Amino acid sequence: MLGWAITFLVVALIAAVLGFGGIAGASAGIAQILFVIFILLFVGSLIMRFVKR
């Protein structure tokens, strides 16, 4: 999940440098959503790990 977020971030940065604003904005939005989902799943797994012990 984090790998996909980083990939979309790189695509957004490259698109922004080349002047493709629409693609850059869409890729950045997808990267943000994936990163938030990754963080939520990571925190949830940490909580579950500590609860099981």
pLDDT tens column, 11-45: 999 999 999 989 899 999 999 999 999 999 999 99
> How far is Cα 31 from Cα 35, in angstroms, rounded to an integer?
6
- What pLDDT, on a 0 to 100 scale, did the predictor assign at position 17? 93
pLDDT > 90? residue 1: no
pTM across the whole model:
0.78
pLDDT > 90? residue 53: no
For residue 5, what pLDDT band results from cuts at 50, 70 and 90?
confident
Q: Are 15 and 27 in contact (CB under 8 A)?
A: yes
- Tokens 């990939």 belong to which residue? 7
